[in-house]
C-alpha cells in the first residue's frame, strides 16, 4: 500500500474526481481543494457512485484559484500535485478576463505553493485546446509539439488553457527551482458520469440523447475519463514524464455524426432521439448568433482535428479504451443516474 499524500485540486471536477478514484484505488491518501466545504458531501457521494467509500483516506481544504489563502495548507506534506482546477464553460464568464485570469494566476499560485512545500512534481491538466486552436487543417495529426495560434479565431476557453499552460512552463523554467512539471492535454473527455455536476464535454452526448435537431460538421477527438485519470497517475511518477506534455485521444478523431451513429448503434431504443442528419454550416452560423457556446465552434466547422497519443503510449505504456466504449459509457451513466429527460435513477 502506498501511503503518500497527493493533492488533487478542484475536487468537484469531473476529471479530478476520477483522478481521486484512481489514486485511492492505488492506495494513496488524497487531499483535494474545494471553494466551499459545503461541497464535501457531494464529492464523497460521487466517489461512492464510482465504487469507492473514501473515508479517512480523503480530506478537504478550502482554496480558490483567485486568492492566495489556503494553498500553503493544501500542498503541505504532499508528494505530488494533480492540478486540474480551472475555469470551464459554465455560462458565467462575461469577458476573456473571466477565463484567462483565474486560469493563469491559479496555475502560478499552485506551482509556487508546490515548489515552496517541496512537492516533487505537478501534473497539470491542460487541454487539447492549448494545442489545436487557431489552426486550419494540418497535413498530419496534431501532437505535443503543437501550440494553439492565438492570433487566429480562438474561443476564450481555448485561449485561457493555452496561456495558462505556457505560464506554467515559463514558471518552471524561470523559478521552478527543481520542481518537476508534466502536462496532460486531453481531447473531449467522456466516460462514466458520477453525478449531475459533470464536464462540458458530456453535454455533447446529453444533447444528442435529448434530440438536438442535427449534428454540426464538427470534428473532435474523444478519450475516456478513466484513461485520462490513468494517464495523470503515469505522468505523476514515471521518470520519462518530467518536462513533457501528453496528448490524450483514443484512436482517430470523429465527426459529430459519427458519434451520433455510435450512440444509435450501441444504445438502441434509448437513442431514438439522437439526430441522423448533418446541419448545414449556414444554419449553424445562424444558431451561433444566439448561442455563445456554438459561436466558439464556428471557426472549427469542417476542420479535421485528428491527433495522436503515440507519445503517451510509447513513453508511459498508456493504453486507452476504444472511443466507442467511452461514448457508450457516457450515455449509459446518464441514463443510470436519471440525468436525461424521462430516465429514472437506478436504485
- Residues (pLDDT < 50) of the chain are 347
162 contacts 245 by C-beta, under 8 angstroms: no
pLDDT at 152: 79
List, by residue number, the catalytic residues.
Answer: 161
What is the SS3 assignment for 255? strand
pLDDT at 299: 83
- 208: CB partners within 8 A, 6+ apart: 215, 259, 260, 263, 271, 273, 274, 275
C-alpha 75: how far from its chain's center? 22
Domain range list for the chain = 5-199+221-251+306-320
CATH code for 5-199+221-251+306-320?
3.40.50.720
Q: How many other C-beta atoms lie within 10 A of the C-beta of residue 341?
A: 10
Instruction: State the pTM of this model.
Output: 0.95
- 104: CB partners within 8 A, 6+ apart: 160, 163, 164, 167
pLDDT at 212: 93
| Burial of 57: CB neighbours in 10 Å, binned 0-12, 13-18, 19+ | middle
pLDDT at 296: 72
Residue range 10-47, pLDDT digits in tens: 999 999 999 999 999 999 999 999 999 999 999 999 99
Q: Name residue 123's beta-bridge partners.
A: 82, 182
80 vs 2: CA distance, rounded Å: 13
pLDDT at 83: 98
pLDDT at 285: 93
pLDDT at 45: 97
Amino acid at each position: 500500500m502506498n501511503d503518500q499524500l497527493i493533492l488533487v485540486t478542484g475536487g468537484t471536477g469531473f476529471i479530478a474526481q476520477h483522478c481521486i478514484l484512481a489514486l485511492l484505488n492505488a492506495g494513496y491518501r488524497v487531499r483535494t481543494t474545494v471553494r466551499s466545504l459545503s461541497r464535501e458531501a457531494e464529492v464523497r457521494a460521487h466517489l461512492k457512485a464510482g465504487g469507492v467509500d473514501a473515508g479517512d483516506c480523503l480530506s478537504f481544504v478550502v482554496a480558490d484559484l483567485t486568492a492566495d489563502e489556503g494553498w500553503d495548507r493544501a500542498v503541505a506534506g504532499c508528494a505530488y500535485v494533480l492540478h486540474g482546477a480551472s475555469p470551464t464553460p459554465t455560462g458565467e464568464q462575461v469577458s476573456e478576463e473571466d477565463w484567462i485570469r483565474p486560469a493563469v494566476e491559479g496555475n502560478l499560485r499552485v506551482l509556487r505553493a508546490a515548489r515552496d512545500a517541496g512537492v516533487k512534481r505537478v501534473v497539470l491538466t491542460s487541454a487539447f485546446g492549448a494545442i489545436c486552436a487557431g489552426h486550419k487543417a494540418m497535413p498530419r495529426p496534431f501532437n505535443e509539439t503543437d501550440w494553439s495560434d492565438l492570433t487566429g479565431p480562438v474561443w476564450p476557453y481555448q485561449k485561457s488553457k493555452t496561456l495558462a499552460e505556457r505560464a506554467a512552463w515559463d514558471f518552471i523554467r524561470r523559478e521552478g527551482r527543481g520542481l518537476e512539471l508534466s502536462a496532460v492535454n486531453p481531447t473531449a473527455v467522456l466516460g462514466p458520469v458520477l453525478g449531475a455536476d459533470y464536464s462540458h464535454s458530456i453535454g455533447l452526448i446529453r444533447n444528442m440523447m435529448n434530440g438536438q435537431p442535427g449534428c454540426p460538421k464538427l470534428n473532435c477527438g474523444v478519450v475516456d475519463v478513466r484513461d485520462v485519470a490513468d494517464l495523470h497517475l503515469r505522468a505523476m511518477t514515471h521518470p520519462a514524464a518530467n518536462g513533457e506534455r501528453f496528448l490524450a485521444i483514443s484512436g482517430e478523431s470523429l465527426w459529430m455524426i459519427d458519434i451520433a451513429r455510435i450512440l444509435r448503434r450501441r444504445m438502441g431504443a434509448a437513442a431514438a432521439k439522437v439526430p441522423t442528419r448533418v446541419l448545414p454550416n449556414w444554419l449553424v452560423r445562424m444558431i451561433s448568433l444566439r448561442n455563445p457556446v456554438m459561436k466558439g465552434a464556428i471557426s472549427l466547422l469542417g476542420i479535421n482535428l485528428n491527433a495522436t497519443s503515440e507519445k503517451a503510449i510509447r513513453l508511459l505504456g498508456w493504453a486507452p479504451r476504444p472511443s466507442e466504449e467511452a461514448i457508450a459509457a457516457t450515455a449509459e451513466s446518464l441514463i443510470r443516474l436519471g440525468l436525461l429527460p424521462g430516465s429514472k435513477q437506478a436504485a
